[in-house]
Amino acid sequence: MKSDKSSEKAPRESRRRFTKAALAALAAAPAGLAAAQTPTPSPPESKAPPNPQPTPAPQAQAQQPETTPVGEAYAEVARARFGKQLSPEELARVKRDLEGNVRAADRLRAHKLQNSDEPDFVFGA
């Protein structure tokens, strides 16, 4: 029976010792704790991206080909998978959207980034 009581006291003494140590550490370093809890000011966010890209003129968009091979392939996959559920008008709209996505991806891929370029956002946890 004594072994049961001694095993019950061991965790209590351990918790007490831990609590005393934690309180002593907090009392010893109030300035350090306050400095750790104050948030650091984030740098002001820029109003515009560092290298804004000009919007293409409507004439430049008209000169681009209507379809691309990649866009055609994506449209064919969409037709094969979902053709039964889509009307011809909906299928044409999906094809147009896919073509727009392919052209946007090509424009993004054309803009080369340097290793020193930073993201346009600040992440804070």
Query: The pTM is what?
Result: 0.43
Among residues 72, 60, 124, 121, the alpha carbon closest in space to that of 99 is found at 72
Write the pLDDT tens digit of every residue in 39-69: 666 666 656 556 656 666 655 555 555 788 9
Q: Say if residue 9's pLDDT is above 60.
A: no
Residue whose token pair is 């600040």:
122
**Closest alpha carbon to 65 in 100, 112, 89:** 100
